[in-house]
Structure 1
Amino acid sequence: MTDTFHGTALITGASTGLGAVYAERLARRGHDLILVARNGAQLEERAAKLRADHGVAVAVIAADLTRSDDVTRIEQRLIDDGAITLFVNNAGMSLNGGTLENSVADVQTIIALNITAAARLAIAAGKAFGARGKGKIVNIASVLALAPEMFEGVYSGSKAFLLNLSIALASSLREQGVQVQAVLPGATRTEIWERSGKDVDAFPAEMVMEAGDLVDAALIGLDRGEEVTIPPLADAGQWDTYQAARLAMGPGLSRREVADRYRVNEAV
C-alpha cells in the first residue's frame, strides 16, 4: 500500500455501507475523519469505535443531503476547513421499483441526493482543493453509468451524471494538484438494496462483491492515480477501448454541415 493520504477525510453517507467501510479503511491509514449522514446517533456510535480502534480524531455532522440548507453546511465545511484533503462523495439512494413506477416526489428526492447534492459538494471540494493546490475527490458512481438498460433509469442516469462530472473535474483540476477519481461499483452487498425494496441475494453469488473488497480495490486505484476505477472489471483494456472510441468521435460531434446520412435524396 502506498500511503498517499494526509489530513482529514470528509465522507458522506458514512453511517452504513460503502461510506462506513471507507471510514474504517481511512482511519486505519491514519486519517482524521468527518462523518456525514442523517442518523446522528448511529454516526456517534461509529465515531466512538473508530477513535478507540485507530486513535484518530472523528467529527460527526448529522445532515440530510436532500435538503439544500444541509448541503450548504457541508459545502461550507469543505471550503473553510483547510485540514480536509480527501472528500468521499458517497451518499446516494436508488428508487423502489422501475422508472415509471415512482412518484414525482420520489424522483425529485433521488435527483436532489444523487445529482444536486453530489454535484454541489464535488464542485465545492474542487474549488477549495484547487485553491490549496492539493486534495483528492472520490465520487462513487456505478457501472450502471455504462449500462443504463440493466436497471432503473433515473438511478443509472444519476451515476452517468456523476461519471461525466468526475471526468470533467479531473481534466480541470489535474494541473492544480487535485486528483479526482470516479469509482464504478457493480452489485455490492450494502444496505442500499434493502432500503429500495430489492434483494441483492437475487443476483447470482458470483456477481455480488463484498463492500470491503470494493473499497480496498478503489483505494488501490486511488493510490495508483486512476481517474476511473471499476473494481469488478477484469480486463482494463475494455475501458481503454471504450474511452478511445468515445474520444475518437470528438472531432465529428459538432459541425456546420449535417452528416450525409441525414440528407434527403432528392432523386428518390
Structure 2
Amino acid sequence: MNSKLEYAVITGASQGLGRAFALSLAEKGQNLILISLPNQKLNQLAKQIEEDHYVKTVYFELDFCSDKDVIILTKYLNSNFNVNILINNAGTGGTKRINDASLTYLNTIIQVNIKATTVFTHQLLPNLKKQQKSYILNVSSIAAFSPVGYKTVYPASKAFIHSFSIGLSEELKSSNVSVSVINPGAMKTNPEITARIEKQGIIGRLTLLDPKRVADFSIKKMFQGTTFILINPISWFIASLLPNKIKVPMMTNIVKREA
C-alpha cells in the first residue's frame, strides 16, 4: 500500500454506467479499483484507462452472489488500499411473471442489489473514514418510487437502496464521509437495450439516458455533497408524484410488453 495514493472502488465497472463512472473519475486523475463479474473484459478496460489517463488501475473479477467472496475481497482492499470513494453500481434485474421466476432468479436480485451493496458499504466504511474526505455513491433506480408488475422484486430492492442511502447520509453527516444516491431510469448501455426501451413508446424514448452524461453529472453532484441526485425530472415525476392507482397500472402495462 502506498499511503499517498487513494482509490475509488467501483462495482459493476465493466460496462454501462459502471464503465462510465470509471472513465469520468479517471479523467479527473482518480486512481481506480474496478470490480465486475468474470469474463467481462475488465482487464482490457483497466489497461485502457491506465494508458489513456495515467492513473493507477487495478481490477478484481467477482461473483457477488457469494457473501464470503465479497467479504474476502473487502478485507483485502482494506489491507492494501486507501479508499476515498465507493460507488455501489452493481445490480441486476429482469422482467418475468412472478410465477415464472425461479428462486435462483429472485435470490440473485436480492443478493446483488441489496446484500452486496450493504456488505461493501459496511466493510469499507472504516477505510473511508480514515481518509481526509470520502464519498459513497449508491445507484438505485427510478423504479424505487413505483412498484411495477412483472418486475416486482427489482423495484423493491432499489427502494431499499434509496432508503438505505438517505438514512446512512443522515447518520454520517457529521463525519468525513458524504453519501449520495442516484435513481436513474433506462440507459443506452448497448443497441439491444436501447431498441427494447424505445419499443415501450414515447415514455421510454423520453426517459432513455446516456450513461456518460449520467456519470459526469452524478460525480459532480457527489463531490458537492448532494444526497439525493435527481437525474431525470420526467421519470421522477411519473414514478414519484403520480398516485399509485395511476402509475402502477401505467408502468406495468409498459413493461408487460417485455414479458
Where on the TM-score scale, by shorter chain, does this alignment land: which range? Answer: 0.7 to 0.9
| Contact map agreement 2:70 2:120 (CA 8 A) in 1 | yes
Residue matched to 2:164: 165
Letter in 2 for 1:221: K
CA distance in structure 2 between the aligned counterparts of 1:51 and 1:131, rounded to whole angstroms: 26
CA distance in structure 1 between the aligned counterparts of 2:150 and 2:221, rounded to whole angstroms: 26
| Contact map agreement 1:144 1:150 (CA 8 A) in 2 | no
Higher alpha-carbon deviation: 126-135 or 28-37? 126-135
Considering Cα pairs closer than 8 Å and 6+ residues apart, tell me whether 1 or 2 has the greater RCO: 2
Residue matched to 2:90: 91
Computed over aligned residues only, the root mean square deviation of the Cα atoms, in angstroms, reads 2.6
Gaps of 5+ in 2: 242-259
> 1:176-255 to 2 correspondence within 5 Å?
176-190=175-189, 194=193, 199-203=196-200, 204=202, 205-233=205-233
| Contact map agreement 1:15 1:39 (CA 8 A) in 2 | no
Gaps of 5+ in 1: 1-5, 243-268
Deviations 1:103-130 (A, max 9, x none): 1111011111111111111122333323
Q: How has the CA–CA distance of structure 1 residues 235 and 103 changed in structure 2, closer, same or farther, with 3 Å as cutoff?
A: closer
Residue matched to 1:46: 45
Higher alpha-carbon deviation: 151-160 or 128-137? 128-137
1:14, distance to aligned residue in structure 2 (A)? 0.5
Q: How has the CA–CA distance of structure 1 residues 150 and 180 changed in structure 2, closer, same or farther, with 3 Å as cutoff?
A: farther
Q: Which has the larger radius of gyration?
A: 1
| Contact map agreement 1:92 1:114 (CA 8 A) in 2 | yes
| Contact map agreement 1:126 1:169 (CA 8 A) in 2 | no
Letter in 1 for 2:56: A
Higher alpha-carbon deviation: 56-65 or 146-155? 146-155
Letter in 2 for 1:32: N
CA distance in structure 1 between the aligned counterparts of 2:232 and 2:50, rounded to whole angstroms: 32
CA distance in structure 1 between the aligned counterparts of 2:97 and 2:184, rounded to whole angstroms: 20
CA distance in structure 1 between the aligned counterparts of 2:123 and 2:44, rounded to whole angstroms: 28
1:77, distance to aligned residue in structure 2 (A)? 3.7
Identity of aligned residues (%): 26
Alignment TM-score, normalising by the size of structure 2: 0.81
Q: Number of residue pairs matched?
A: 231
* Secondary structure at 1:137 match in 2: strand
| Contact map agreement 2:95 2:151 (CA 8 A) in 1 | no
* Secondary structure at 1:181 match in 2: strand
CA distance in structure 2 between the aligned counterparts of 1:234 and 1:164, rounded to whole angstroms: 21
| Contact map agreement 1:126 1:173 (CA 8 A) in 2 | no
CA distance in structure 2 between the aligned counterparts of 1:62 and 1:192, rounded to whole angstroms: 25
